[in-house]
Protein backbone atom coordinates (compact mmCIF):
# COMPACT_ATOMS: atom_id res chain seq x y z
CA UNK A 1 0.00 0.00 0.00
CA UNK A 2 2.86 2.29 0.83
CA UNK A 3 4.50 2.24 -2.60
CA UNK A 4 1.09 2.66 -4.22
CA UNK A 5 0.41 5.82 -2.23
CA UNK A 6 3.88 7.09 -2.99
CA UNK A 7 3.40 6.61 -6.70
CA UNK A 8 -0.06 8.16 -6.49
CA UNK A 9 1.14 11.26 -4.66
CA UNK A 10 4.13 11.59 -6.95
CA UNK A 11 1.84 11.33 -9.95
CA UNK A 12 -0.60 13.90 -8.60
CA UNK A 13 2.18 16.38 -8.06
CA UNK A 14 3.80 15.94 -11.44
CA UNK A 15 0.27 16.30 -12.81
CA UNK A 16 0.01 19.71 -11.14
CA UNK A 17 3.16 20.76 -12.90
CA UNK A 18 1.74 19.65 -16.25
CA UNK A 19 -1.41 21.61 -15.58
CA UNK A 20 0.69 24.72 -15.05
CA UNK A 21 1.83 24.48 -18.65
CA UNK A 22 -1.63 23.42 -19.81
CA UNK A 23 -3.15 26.52 -18.20
CA UNK A 24 -1.32 28.69 -20.68
CA UNK A 25 -2.82 26.75 -23.59
CA UNK A 26 -6.33 26.98 -22.20
CA UNK A 27 -6.08 30.71 -21.45
CA UNK A 28 -5.04 31.57 -24.96
CA UNK A 29 -7.53 29.23 -26.59
CA UNK A 30 -10.37 30.59 -24.49
CA UNK A 31 -9.72 34.19 -25.35
CA UNK A 32 -8.41 34.16 -28.88
CA UNK A 33 -9.37 30.78 -30.31
CA UNK A 34 -5.73 30.05 -31.16
CA UNK A 35 -4.18 26.73 -30.16
CA UNK A 36 -0.85 28.06 -29.06
CA UNK A 37 1.73 25.46 -29.89
CA UNK A 38 4.36 27.98 -28.89
CA UNK A 39 3.49 27.63 -25.20
CA UNK A 40 6.42 25.26 -24.63
CA UNK A 41 8.79 27.64 -26.35
CA UNK A 42 7.38 30.46 -24.20
CA UNK A 43 8.07 28.41 -21.05
CA UNK A 44 11.66 27.90 -22.18
CA UNK A 45 12.09 31.54 -23.21
CA UNK A 46 10.73 32.82 -19.91
CA UNK A 47 12.87 30.41 -17.90
CA UNK A 48 15.97 31.36 -19.89
CA UNK A 49 15.25 35.04 -19.36
CA UNK A 50 14.84 34.57 -15.63
CA UNK A 51 17.91 32.36 -15.27
CA UNK A 52 20.15 34.73 -17.19
CA UNK A 53 18.77 37.87 -15.62
CA UNK A 54 19.39 36.44 -12.15
CA UNK A 55 23.04 36.08 -13.21
CA UNK A 56 23.39 39.36 -15.08
CA UNK A 57 21.60 41.77 -12.74
CA UNK A 58 23.87 41.16 -9.73
CA UNK A 59 26.94 41.63 -11.98
CA UNK A 60 25.59 44.72 -13.69
CA UNK A 61 24.16 46.44 -10.66
CA UNK A 62 26.69 45.15 -8.17
CA UNK A 63 24.73 43.63 -5.31
CA UNK A 64 24.80 40.22 -3.76
CA UNK A 65 21.38 39.56 -2.27
CA UNK A 66 19.92 36.45 -3.89
CA UNK A 67 16.32 37.28 -3.05
CA UNK A 68 16.64 40.71 -4.66
CA UNK A 69 18.33 39.17 -7.70
CA UNK A 70 15.52 36.65 -8.08
CA UNK A 71 12.82 39.30 -7.68
CA UNK A 72 14.44 41.58 -10.23
CA UNK A 73 14.98 38.66 -12.59
CA UNK A 74 11.32 37.70 -12.26
CA UNK A 75 10.25 41.26 -13.01
CA UNK A 76 12.62 41.50 -15.94
CA UNK A 77 11.46 38.19 -17.37
CA UNK A 78 7.84 39.32 -16.98
CA UNK A 79 8.60 42.48 -18.96
CA UNK A 80 10.22 40.36 -21.66
CA UNK A 81 7.16 38.13 -21.86
CA UNK A 82 4.83 41.13 -22.16
CA UNK A 83 7.01 42.41 -25.00
CA UNK A 84 6.86 38.99 -26.68
CA UNK A 85 3.07 38.95 -26.27
CA UNK A 86 2.74 42.40 -27.81
CA UNK A 87 4.99 41.49 -30.74
CA UNK A 88 3.13 38.24 -31.40
CA UNK A 89 -0.17 40.07 -31.37
CA UNK A 90 1.03 42.83 -33.71
CA UNK A 91 3.00 40.71 -36.15
CA UNK A 92 1.17 37.40 -36.21
CA UNK A 93 -2.30 37.41 -34.73
CA UNK A 94 -3.69 40.61 -36.11
CA UNK A 95 -2.60 39.62 -39.62
CA UNK A 96 -4.21 36.21 -39.43
CA UNK A 97 -7.51 37.25 -37.92
CA UNK A 98 -10.05 35.26 -39.86
CA UNK A 99 -8.00 32.27 -40.97
CA UNK A 100 -8.85 28.67 -40.24
CA UNK A 101 -7.61 26.82 -37.21
CA UNK A 102 -4.89 24.88 -38.96
CA UNK A 103 -3.34 28.05 -40.37
CA UNK A 104 -3.17 29.60 -36.90
CA UNK A 105 -1.75 26.36 -35.52
CA UNK A 106 1.00 26.41 -38.14
CA UNK A 107 1.67 30.05 -37.41
CA UNK A 108 2.19 29.26 -33.73
CA UNK A 109 4.51 26.43 -34.78
CA UNK A 110 6.51 28.98 -36.74
CA UNK A 111 6.56 31.20 -33.65
CA UNK A 112 7.85 28.18 -31.69
CA UNK A 113 10.83 27.75 -33.97
CA UNK A 114 11.47 31.48 -33.91
CA UNK A 115 11.37 31.72 -30.11
CA UNK A 116 13.60 28.65 -29.77
CA UNK A 117 16.22 30.18 -32.01
CA UNK A 118 15.88 33.66 -30.49
CA UNK A 119 16.11 32.43 -26.91
CA UNK A 120 19.24 30.46 -27.63
CA UNK A 121 20.79 33.36 -29.55
CA UNK A 122 20.17 35.97 -26.87
CA UNK A 123 20.49 33.94 -23.73
CA UNK A 124 22.79 31.11 -24.75
CA UNK A 125 22.26 27.41 -25.17
CA UNK A 126 23.85 25.79 -22.12
CA UNK A 127 22.08 24.50 -19.05
CA UNK A 128 21.38 27.26 -16.57
CA UNK A 129 20.32 27.19 -12.97
CA UNK A 130 17.30 28.79 -11.38
CA UNK A 131 17.61 28.84 -7.64
CA UNK A 132 14.53 30.25 -5.97
CA UNK A 133 15.15 28.57 -2.68
CA UNK A 134 12.86 25.59 -3.07
CA UNK A 135 14.06 22.92 -0.66
CA UNK A 136 15.24 19.89 -2.52
CA UNK A 137 15.33 17.32 0.24
CA UNK A 138 12.65 14.66 0.46
CA UNK A 139 10.17 14.27 3.27
CA UNK A 140 8.91 11.10 4.82
CA UNK A 141 5.25 11.09 5.80
CA UNK A 142 3.25 8.73 7.95
CA UNK A 143 6.23 6.85 9.23
CA UNK A 144 4.12 5.21 11.87
CA UNK A 145 1.55 3.70 9.50
CA UNK A 146 3.84 2.53 6.74
CA UNK A 147 7.28 1.12 7.15
CA UNK A 148 9.82 3.72 6.21
CA UNK A 149 7.14 6.25 5.50
CA UNK A 150 5.95 7.62 2.18
CA UNK A 151 8.54 9.57 0.26
CA UNK A 152 7.26 12.96 -0.78
CA UNK A 153 9.40 15.41 -2.65
CA UNK A 154 9.27 18.78 -0.84
CA UNK A 155 10.03 20.63 -4.05
CA UNK A 156 7.02 19.09 -5.77
CA UNK A 157 4.86 19.97 -2.78
CA UNK A 158 5.87 23.62 -2.98
CA UNK A 159 5.35 23.57 -6.74
CA UNK A 160 1.87 22.13 -6.32
CA UNK A 161 1.08 24.82 -3.76
CA UNK A 162 2.33 27.56 -6.10
CA UNK A 163 0.27 26.09 -8.94
CA UNK A 164 -2.85 26.00 -6.78
CA UNK A 165 -2.27 29.60 -5.71
CA UNK A 166 -1.85 30.59 -9.35
CA UNK A 167 -5.12 28.94 -10.30
CA UNK A 168 -6.95 30.65 -7.45
CA UNK A 169 -5.41 33.97 -8.41
CA UNK A 170 -6.38 33.53 -12.04
CA UNK A 171 -9.94 32.59 -11.16
CA UNK A 172 -10.25 35.67 -8.97
CA UNK A 173 -8.79 37.77 -11.77
CA UNK A 174 -11.30 36.43 -14.27
CA UNK A 175 -14.34 36.65 -12.01
CA UNK A 176 -13.80 39.81 -10.00
CA UNK A 177 -11.93 42.32 -12.14
CA UNK A 178 -13.30 44.22 -15.11
CA UNK A 179 -10.37 43.15 -17.28
CA UNK A 180 -11.22 39.56 -16.47
CA UNK A 181 -14.80 40.25 -17.49
CA UNK A 182 -13.59 41.71 -20.76
CA UNK A 183 -11.48 38.60 -21.36
CA UNK A 184 -14.45 36.35 -20.75
CA UNK A 185 -16.57 38.47 -23.11
CA UNK A 186 -14.00 38.12 -25.87
CA UNK A 187 -13.83 34.38 -25.25
CA UNK A 188 -17.57 34.07 -25.72
CA UNK A 189 -17.94 36.05 -28.90
CA UNK A 190 -15.31 38.21 -30.55
CA UNK A 191 -17.68 40.24 -32.66
CA UNK A 192 -20.16 40.98 -29.90
CA UNK A 193 -17.33 42.05 -27.60
CA UNK A 194 -15.93 44.31 -30.27
CA UNK A 195 -19.33 45.84 -30.93
CA UNK A 196 -19.73 46.93 -27.32
CA UNK A 197 -16.35 48.61 -27.40
CA UNK A 198 -13.90 46.11 -25.94
CA UNK A 199 -10.58 46.72 -27.72
CA UNK A 200 -9.81 43.32 -29.20
CA UNK A 201 -6.10 43.74 -29.82
CA UNK A 202 -5.49 45.04 -26.31
CA UNK A 203 -7.39 42.10 -24.85
CA UNK A 204 -5.28 39.71 -26.89
CA UNK A 205 -2.07 41.32 -25.68
CA UNK A 206 -3.33 40.98 -22.10
CA UNK A 207 -4.26 37.33 -22.62
CA UNK A 208 -0.92 36.44 -24.16
CA UNK A 209 0.83 38.33 -21.36
CA UNK A 210 -1.10 36.38 -18.73
CA UNK A 211 -0.22 33.19 -20.59
CA UNK A 212 3.37 34.43 -20.61
CA UNK A 213 3.14 34.95 -16.83
CA UNK A 214 1.86 31.40 -16.41
CA UNK A 215 4.68 30.21 -18.68
CA UNK A 216 7.16 32.10 -16.54
CA UNK A 217 5.91 30.49 -13.33
CA UNK A 218 5.91 27.07 -15.00
CA UNK A 219 9.39 27.70 -16.37
CA UNK A 220 10.61 28.82 -12.96
CA UNK A 221 9.37 25.69 -11.26
CA UNK A 222 10.40 23.22 -13.94
CA UNK A 223 13.69 25.05 -14.34
CA UNK A 224 14.48 24.79 -10.68
CA UNK A 225 13.68 21.08 -10.88
CA UNK A 226 15.43 20.14 -14.09
CA UNK A 227 17.67 23.06 -14.90
CA UNK A 228 16.86 25.41 -17.75
CA UNK A 229 17.65 23.57 -20.94
CA UNK A 230 16.20 22.91 -24.34
CA UNK A 231 14.10 19.96 -23.21
CA UNK A 232 11.80 22.40 -21.42
CA UNK A 233 10.29 23.29 -24.75
CA UNK A 234 9.39 19.66 -25.30
CA UNK A 235 7.25 19.98 -22.16
CA UNK A 236 4.49 21.34 -24.34
CA UNK A 237 4.15 17.93 -25.93
CA UNK A 238 3.70 16.36 -22.51
CA UNK A 239 1.10 18.95 -21.54
CA UNK A 240 -0.99 18.54 -24.72
CA UNK A 241 -2.92 15.48 -23.54
CA UNK A 242 -3.74 17.39 -20.36
CA UNK A 243 -5.28 20.22 -22.35
CA UNK A 244 -7.30 17.92 -24.54
CA UNK A 245 -8.45 15.69 -21.69
CA UNK A 246 -9.73 18.61 -19.69
CA UNK A 247 -11.28 20.26 -22.70
CA UNK A 248 -9.71 23.11 -24.62
CA UNK A 249 -11.91 25.76 -23.05
CA UNK A 250 -11.92 24.88 -19.39
CA UNK A 251 -9.50 26.08 -16.68
CA UNK A 252 -10.65 23.58 -14.03
CA UNK A 253 -10.44 20.99 -16.78
CA UNK A 254 -6.76 21.74 -17.20
CA UNK A 255 -6.16 21.13 -13.49
CA UNK A 256 -8.21 17.95 -13.27
CA UNK A 257 -6.81 16.72 -16.57
CA UNK A 258 -3.33 17.33 -15.26
CA UNK A 259 -4.00 15.39 -12.05
CA UNK A 260 -5.53 12.49 -13.99
CA UNK A 261 -2.75 12.31 -16.55
CA UNK A 262 -0.01 12.67 -13.96
CA UNK A 263 -1.55 9.97 -11.81
CA UNK A 264 -2.19 7.70 -14.79
CA UNK A 265 1.31 8.09 -16.15
CA UNK A 266 3.09 7.24 -12.93
CA UNK A 267 0.77 4.39 -11.98
CA UNK A 268 0.92 2.86 -15.46
CA UNK A 269 4.68 3.16 -15.51
CA UNK A 270 5.05 1.35 -12.20
CA UNK A 271 2.35 -1.29 -12.61
CA UNK A 272 1.86 -1.76 -16.38
CA UNK A 273 5.34 -0.82 -17.49
CA UNK A 274 7.21 -3.97 -16.48
CA UNK A 275 4.72 -6.09 -18.45
CA UNK A 276 5.16 -4.09 -21.63
CA UNK A 277 8.87 -3.47 -21.51
CA UNK A 278 9.03 -0.14 -19.75
CA UNK A 279 9.02 3.42 -20.94
CA UNK A 280 5.29 3.59 -21.60
CA UNK A 281 5.08 7.03 -20.03
CA UNK A 282 5.52 8.74 -23.37
CA UNK A 283 2.37 7.37 -24.92
CA UNK A 284 0.15 6.50 -21.98
CA UNK A 285 -1.25 10.00 -21.64
CA UNK A 286 -2.06 10.21 -25.33
CA UNK A 287 -3.71 6.81 -25.56
CA UNK A 288 -5.76 7.58 -22.44
CA UNK A 289 -6.91 10.82 -24.04
CA UNK A 290 -7.72 8.98 -27.26
CA UNK A 291 -10.08 6.63 -25.43
CA UNK A 292 -11.70 9.42 -23.43
CA UNK A 293 -12.25 11.43 -26.62
CA UNK A 294 -14.04 8.48 -28.19
CA UNK A 295 -16.59 8.69 -25.39
CA UNK A 296 -16.63 12.47 -24.99
CA UNK A 297 -15.33 14.14 -28.16
CA UNK A 298 -14.99 17.52 -26.50
CA UNK A 299 -12.87 16.39 -23.56
CA UNK A 300 -14.11 16.03 -19.99
CA UNK A 301 -15.09 19.65 -19.35
CA UNK A 302 -14.96 21.22 -22.77
CA UNK A 303 -17.81 22.91 -24.56
CA UNK A 304 -19.81 20.65 -26.80
CA UNK A 305 -18.88 21.23 -30.40
CA UNK A 306 -21.92 22.56 -32.18
CA UNK A 307 -21.87 22.33 -35.95
CA UNK A 308 -23.99 24.70 -37.93
CA UNK A 309 -24.92 23.15 -41.24
118 binding another protein? (CB under 8 A): yes
Question: Angle 47-260-147 (CA atoms, 0-180°, nearest 5)?
Answer: 95
Q: Which is nearer to another protein, 110 or 169 (CB)?
A: 110
**Which long-range contacts (C-beta less than 8 Å, at least 24 apart) are formed by 99-103?**
101/33, 101/35
Between the alpha carbon of residue 170 and those of residues 148, 161, 265, the distances in Å are 39, 14, 27
Q: Kindly list the distances between the CA atom of residue 169 and the CA atoms of 59, 75, 140, 275, in Å, as whole numbers in the listed order.
A: 33, 18, 30, 43
Mark the segment that binds another protein (CB under 8 A) among 77-85, 99-107, 182-190, 258-266.
Answer: 99-107
Determine the size of the site formed for another protein (CB under 8 A): 50
Instruction: Check residue 274 for interaction with another protein (CB under 8 A).
Output: no
- Closer to another protein by CB, 14 or 224: give it: 14
Of the candidates 245, 243, 236, 238, the one whose C-alpha atom is nearest the C-alpha of residue 290 is 245
Instruction: Label residue 248 exposed, middle or buried (CB < 10 Å: 0-12, 13-18, 19+).
Output: buried
Does 278 bind another protein (CB under 8 A)? Our answer is: yes
Binder among 95, 144, 195, 197 for another protein (CB under 8 A): 95
Residue 138 DSSP SS3: strand
Minimum distance from CB of 123 to another protein (Å)?
A: 11
Determine if 97 is a binding residue for another protein (CB under 8 A).
Answer: no
Whichever of 179 and 298 has its CB closer to another protein, that residue is: 298
Give the other-Cβ count within 10 Å of 304's Cβ: 8
Q: Is 305 in the site for another protein (CB under 8 A)?
A: yes
Binding site for another protein (CB under 8 A): 35, 91-92, 95-96, 99, 101-103, 105-107, 109-118, 120-121, 125, 237, 240-241, 243-244, 248, 276-280, 282-283, 286-287, 289-290, 293-294, 297-299, 305, 307, 309
Amino acid sequence: MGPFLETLIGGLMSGMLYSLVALGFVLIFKASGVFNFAQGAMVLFAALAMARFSEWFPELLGFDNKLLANLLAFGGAMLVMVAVAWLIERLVLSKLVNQEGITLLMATLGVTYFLDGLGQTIFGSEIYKIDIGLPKDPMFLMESTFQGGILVNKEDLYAAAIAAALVVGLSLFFQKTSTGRALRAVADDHQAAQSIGIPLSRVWVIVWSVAGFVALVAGMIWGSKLGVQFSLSVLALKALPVVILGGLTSVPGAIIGGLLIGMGEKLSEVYLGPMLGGGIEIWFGYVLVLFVLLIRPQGLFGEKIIDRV
